[in-house]
């Protein structure tokens, strides 16, 4: 090639970076069990793949995660220490050679203070990068910054190029986790700032996003100079990357089931992006050191014991239509009625609380399986609502389809409702991203209770979870009812309730034979 003056034009060398990515791994270090008893996933296989790729391209490989890494079975230690559980899990991600992780909403399940203590207690952790998450100064925590840049100039080296990396957490985290002492900034504002800084350095912009795929698409439209969005939160399997303008968006699903390969090539100011997924299964090698660490860590967990026998298969792959979800909601209603010794009108559970996208064949049921399906320590609350308030509650359930409404879908017992998405949705007055009043009542929900139309002036008594009763997932209407614990004490978010957690309720129903009774 000749320049305008006739001299040969010298091209800069091509720089190549391979980014390996996971998301929503939920500390599922053992992988996900198949119906035949084999496992897909496992962090030991992820670690082995990184080492294999590093041998091919030293200095040109990064391993990253897009959030929700501290959740599930590996948070259930025998000693009940939530800080140690999270610290040891973070150390395992470091041992597996993760370079950068962003925080998901479930990192805050035990509160920001516990997360901060775990980061401080862990001997080594990957770089934690959540650029739109700030702690308030009065928060008693001295752990490393959650939004610190990867380096002095805010970039990360890989394969001869420098990447501008930004981590983003969904604003919905404020309604689905404990965010006491934490401030969340608007993701698009932070992303736009990062692209402006990167432009001067000609650095590609990489986003580790725990926003959900719908919000990733919107972010790419709002901030058009992003190059790659490595997504999480919505558990979406993208076999091919979504391309919005110049932005490439990918996501692996969850629980180490797939590994994303992002091949970035930069030459003469041009960036080429290639993306594909590979299943993390028995065809992949295993890192023996990491596997040994998983085996040791498993010894600290609550032992697995058989609780009863499963007569029919439990299939939670399609949670919204799962027979198990209906059985579980009925079990909550029956447990609340028996404990309070009063008839109730129905029960409501959020589908986001059913975490295992899995199939369980007939046979023994273990405590680990029940904890995998119901990992949150939610307790039951009884709420007395007017028909109008119950309608607003179900209107919120009908307002779905975007990541900021993550978890709004409901499972019901005694209550039936349908949604007409063509009609107006409920809207809220917000303060600090949280509802404080209803700005407009929705028109989507049609509701019946035990076959009878909803009476807006009648009072209905509903069993639900403390998470929903305190307004989680924007269920503001439930906060306006008369809320009581099952022992009759008034429920307040600060004090909570005592008594059985949701998985205990399922265990009791399993043992007394009512869980799998025929559904109507």
- The enclosing domain of 245 has a CATH number of 3.60.21.10
Kindly indicate the confidence band of residue 2, based on its pLDDT and cuts at 50, 70 and 90: very low
Looking at residue 262, its pLDDT comes to 98
DSSP state of 152: T
Boundary residue ending a domain (298, 331, 364): 298
On the question of pLDDT at 140 being above 70, the answer is no
Kindly indicate the confidence band of residue 88, based on its pLDDT and cuts at 50, 70 and 90: very high
Looking at residue 409, its pLDDT comes to 82
Residue 10 included in any domain = no
Looking at residue 242, its pLDDT comes to 97
Q: What is the pLDDT of residues 366-424, one digit of tens each?
A: 888 888 888 888 999 999 999 999 999 999 999 864 333 444 589 999 999 999 989 99
In the chain, how many domains are there? 2
The helix/strand/coil state of 409 is coil
Domain with 427, as residue range(s), is 306-512
The predicted model gives 322-326 an average pLDDT of 91
Looking at residue 430, its pLDDT comes to 86
pTM of the complete model: 0.80
Looking at residue 139, its pLDDT comes to 61
Q: What is the pLDDT of residues 384-396, one digit of tens each?
A: 999 999 999 999 9
Residue 316 and residue 201 share a domain: no
Residue 1 included in any domain = no
Q: Kindly report the CATH number assigned to the domain that includes residue 457.
A: 3.90.780.10
On the question of pLDDT at 252 being above 90, the answer is yes
Q: What b/e string do you get for 48-60 counting C-beta neighbours within 10 Å, with b at 16 or more?
A: bbbbebbeeeeeb
Mean of the per-residue pLDDT values of the chain: 89
Residue 4 included in any domain = no
The predicted model gives 57-84 an average pLDDT of 93
On the question of pLDDT at 220 being above 90, the answer is yes
Residue 422 and residue 321 share a domain: yes
Residue 5 included in any domain = no
Q: Report the 10 Å Cβ neighbour count for 43.
A: 28
Q: Hey, what are 491's tokens?
A: 């429920």
Residue 189 and residue 55 share a domain: yes
Boundary residue ending a domain (298, 322, 347): 298
Portion of the chain with pLDDT greater than 90, in percent: 66
Residue 329 and residue 282 share a domain: no
* Distance from C-alpha of 449 to C-alpha of 460, rounded to nearest angstrom: 9
Residue 143 and residue 37 share a domain: yes
Residue 404 and residue 262 share a domain: no
Looking at residue 33, its pLDDT comes to 67
- Residue that wins the pLDDT comparison between 26 and 478: 478
Q: What is the pLDDT of residues 257-306, one digit of tens each?
A: 999 999 999 998 899 999 999 999 989 999 999 999 999 999 999 888 99
Across-strand partners of 412?
Answer: 348
The predicted model gives 322-346 an average pLDDT of 96
Residue 235 included in any domain = yes
Looking at residue 375, its pLDDT comes to 83
Residue 111 included in any domain = yes
Residue 7 included in any domain = no
Residue 293 and residue 310 share a domain: no
Asked if residue 366 lies in contact with residue 435, where contact means CB atoms within 8 angstroms, the answer is no
Residue 211 and residue 108 share a domain: yes
Asked if residue 275 lies in contact with residue 250, where contact means CB atoms within 8 angstroms, the answer is yes
Looking at residue 39, its pLDDT comes to 67
Q: Which residues contact 333 (CB under 8 A, 6 or more apart)?
A: 344, 346, 347, 413, 414, 463
Looking at residue 405, its pLDDT comes to 40
Residue 347 and residue 289 share a domain: no
On the question of pLDDT at 92 being above 60, the answer is yes
Residue 156 and residue 62 share a domain: yes
Q: Which residues contact 257 (CB under 8 A, 6 or more apart)?
A: 31, 32, 40, 41, 237, 279, 280
On the question of pLDDT at 7 being above 80, the answer is no
Looking at residue 212, its pLDDT comes to 94
Residue 385 and residue 277 share a domain: no
Asked if residue 420 lies in contact with residue 446, where contact means CB atoms within 8 angstroms, the answer is yes
Looking at residue 504, its pLDDT comes to 94
The predicted model gives 17-41 an average pLDDT of 83
Residue 315 and residue 225 share a domain: no
* Distance from C-alpha of 195 to C-alpha of 199, rounded to nearest angstrom: 6
On the question of pLDDT at 343 being above 50, the answer is yes
Boundary residue ending a domain (298, 315, 330): 298
């Amino acid at each position: 090639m000749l320049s305008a003056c006739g001299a040969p034009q010298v091209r800069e060398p091509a720089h190549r970076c391979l980014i390996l990515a996971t998301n929503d791994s939920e500390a599922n270090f053992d992988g996900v069990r198949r119906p035949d008893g084999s496992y897909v996933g496992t962090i030991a296989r992820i670690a082995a793949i990184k080492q294999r790729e590093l041998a091919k391209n030293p200095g040109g490989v990064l391993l990253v995660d897009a959030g929700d890494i501290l959740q599930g079975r590996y948070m259930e230690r025998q000693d009940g220490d939530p800080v140690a559980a999270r610290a040891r899990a973070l150390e395992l991600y470091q041992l597996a050679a993760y370079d950068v992780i962003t925080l998901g909403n479930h990192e805050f399940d035990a509160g920001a203070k516990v997360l901060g203590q775990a980061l401080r207690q862990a001997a080594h952790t990957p770089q934690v990068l959540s650029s739109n998450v700030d702690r308030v100064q009065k928060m008693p925590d001295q752990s490393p910054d959650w939004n610190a840049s990867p380096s002095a100039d805010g970039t990360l080296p890989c394969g001869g190029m420098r990447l501008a990396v930004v981590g983003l957490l969904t604003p919905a985290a404020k309604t689905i986790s404990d965010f006491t002492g934490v401030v969340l900034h608007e993701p698009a504002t932070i992303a736009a700032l990062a692209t402006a800084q990167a432009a001067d350095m000609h650095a590609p912009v990489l986003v580790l996003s725990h926003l959900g795929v719908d919000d990733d698409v919107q972010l790419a439209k709002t901030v058009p100079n992003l190059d790659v969005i490595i997504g999480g939160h919505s558990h979406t399997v993208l076999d091919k990357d979504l391309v919005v303008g110049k932005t490439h968006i990918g996501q692996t699903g969850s629980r180490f089931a797939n590994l994303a390969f992002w091949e970035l090539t930069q030459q003469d100011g041009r960036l080429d992006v290639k993306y594909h997924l590979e299943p993390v299964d028995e065809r992949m090698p295993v890192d023996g050191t990491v596997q040994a660490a998983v085996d040791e860590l498993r010894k600290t967990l609550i032992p697995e014991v058989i609780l009863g026998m499963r007569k029919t298969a439990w299939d939670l792959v399609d949670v919204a239509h799962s027979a198990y979800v209906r059985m579980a909601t009925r079990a909550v209603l029956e447990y609340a009625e028996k404990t309070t010794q009063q008839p109730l009108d129905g029960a409501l559970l959020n589908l986001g609380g059913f975490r295992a996208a899995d199939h369980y064949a007939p046979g023994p049921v273990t405590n680990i399986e029940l904890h995998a399906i119901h990992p949150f320590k939610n307790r039951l609350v009884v709420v007395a609502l007017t028909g109008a308030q119950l309608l607003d509650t179900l209107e919120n359930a009908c307002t779905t389809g975007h990541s900021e409404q993550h978890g709004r879908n409901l499972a019901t017992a005694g209550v039936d409702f349908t949604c007409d998405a063509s009609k107006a949705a409920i809207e809220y007055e917000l303060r600090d991203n949280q509802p404080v009043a209803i700005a407009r009542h929705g028109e989507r929900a049609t509701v019946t209770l035990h076959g009878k139309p909803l009476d807006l002036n009648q009072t209905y008594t509903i069993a639900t979870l403390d998470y929903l009763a305190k307004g989680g997932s924007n269920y503001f209407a439930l906060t306006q009812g008369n809320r009581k614990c099952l022992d009759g004490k008034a429920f307040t978010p600060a004090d909570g309730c005592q008594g059985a957690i949701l998985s205990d309720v399922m265990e009791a129903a399993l043992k007394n034979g009512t869980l799998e009774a025929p559904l109507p």
